[in-house]
Amino acid sequence: MRFATGMVLIDAPHSALNMLGIDESLADRNVTRVKTFRRGGKRYPYVSPQAWRYWWRFTLKEHFNWELSPLYREQKQVFTAANPLKYPDDDVFGYMRAFKRGGVNVTVTRVSPLKNTPLISILPDRSSVTVDEGYASRHEGDPVPYSQEFYSTVFKGAFSLDLDSVGRFTIISKAGFKNLLTWDDVPKDKKGNPKKGTEDVVNEIREMERIAEELGVEKRDKEWIMPPKIRKKRATDVIKALRLLTGGAKQSQYHTDVTPKFVLLLNVDAGINPFISDLVFEERGEIRFDAEALAKRLKDLKEVIPDNAKLYIGYDEGFTRSLGWDVNEIAKTLEKAGVEVFTGTVGEAIEEFAKEIEAYYG
């Protein structure tokens, strides 16, 4: 198994990217809060993981021409088409459709090959959040006061893309692994034909088989596998989309570029992510990078780092200069520990890393 893992830093110098909404606990209800969580004695702003995933999915649609899976509603559930052959976002982002149609259980679920953390502020709220006091005065009568929090910080996020799962669909009766309906799911009459009332289910299975035939999907006993060319494109599109990441609330007032300004990328032959904890941290109001800690961590994980795999460091020079980081020194520290390192712009690092992913699929 191989996972494309990474860490991104997003500079948010004056932003309100994913808000909590109006603070209902206040009598005048006119304060809009940012989302925060507590760790130890401090609170940290964050962008929810689903918001980041929404930005990612939207960027794939806008810049990589992905046809996104349509949404359907059944009672209180909203779900996608659950068709990972036709819709690449169903393949990469997973799905859960759990209900009965015409008395037939049409539940299918898929564990998302792409996993991501929330985007978490490196600076605590006391060092990053402020309140803008405003007045709405474009109407007749007295101005109406309101307050809105926003922050100035750097967000850190990590992700892992399961390369073996992209374009590979299992048919196992287990939550997350029954990705597709099969003829075994269709009730039969005494002659062995599908019972009346199962037409929708039959049509869905036939449509899936038609697409599989058209694309050249390899069918095995418990899984279907798409051609390497399609799997390769979907996996590399996901990584390349980071370079053009678009999204976030309050863009008309705070206008934040959410493309990463610093990335770490590495292929790992295990379901772990070496970048999640405490490599980037706050110290006396400054944002630090612990290259020694990363070097020791990667050395400790040497047996699951593939031969010839590199650690890709992509950075925006203005961003790292503002933090006082010397990327060349970071690279030297890692190379002393036996880690092969590539350094370049964020775009260059992503493109080179994508080539390593392409080579994995052959």
Average pLDDT over residues 264-284: 95
Q: What's the pLDDT at 135?
A: 82
Which residues, in sequence order, are bridge partners of residue 224?
A: 169, 219
pTM of the entire structure?
0.94
Taking CA atoms, 244 is separated from 61, 148, 253, 350, in Å, by 11, 28, 21, 11
DSSP 295: H
Q: What's the rounded Cα separation, in Å, for the pair 337 and 330?
A: 11
Residue type, 157: G
- 230: pLDDT confidence band, cut at 50, 70 and 90? very high
Residues in CB range of 300: below 8 A, 6 or more apart: none
What confidence score (pLDDT) does residue 64 get? 98
- How far is it, in rounded angstroms, from Cα 247 to Cα 260? 12
> How much is the average pLDDT of 93-119?
92
Angle between helices 228-240 and 49-64 (to 10 degrees): 120
Q: Is the pLDDT confidence value at 172 over 90?
A: yes
Mean pLDDT confidence for 53-72: 97
Confidence of residue 26 (pLDDT cuts 50, 70, 90): confident
Dihedral pair phi/psi, residue 320, rounded to 5°? -65, -35
How does the average pLDDT of the chain come out, rounded?
94
At 256 the pLDDT is 96
| Residue from 354, 66, 336 nearest 344 by CA | 354
Helical H runs in 241-326?
251-254, 291-300, 317-323
What is the predicted pLDDT for the residue at 104? 85
- Write the pLDDT tens digit of every residue in 109-161: 999 999 999 999 999 999 999 998 888 888 888 888 888 999 999 999 999 99
The per-residue pLDDT for 133 is 85
pLDDT at 80: 94
How much of the chain, in percent, has pLDDT values that exceed 90? 81
Q: In this structure, are residues 83 and 108 in contact, taking their beta carbons and an 8 Å threshold?
A: no
Please identify which residue in the block is written with the tokens 């998302």.
112
- If you write DSSP's letter for every residue of 146-159 in order, what string do you get? EEEEEEEEEEEEEE
Is 3's pLDDT higher than 90?
yes
Q: How far is residue 313 from each of residues 9, 153, 340, 341, measured CA to CA in Å?
A: 12, 21, 11, 7
> Is the pLDDT assigned to residue 102 strictly greater than 80?
no
> What is the arithmetic mean of pLDDT over 205-213?
96
* Confidence category of residue 277, pLDDT binned at 50, 70, 90: confident
* CA 278 – CA 158 distance, rounded (Å): 12
Instruction: Give per-residue pLDDT as tens, 324-360.
Output: 999 999 999 999 989 999 999 999 999 999 999 999 9
Residue 199 CB neighbour total at 10 angstroms: 11
Contact (Cβ atoms closer than 8 angstroms) between residue 203 and residue 83:
no
> How confident is the model at residue 236, as a pLDDT?
98
* Statement: residue 27 has pLDDT above 90: no
Once rounded to an integer, what is the mean pLDDT over residues 57-81?
A: 93
- Cβ contact 33:129 at 8 Å: no
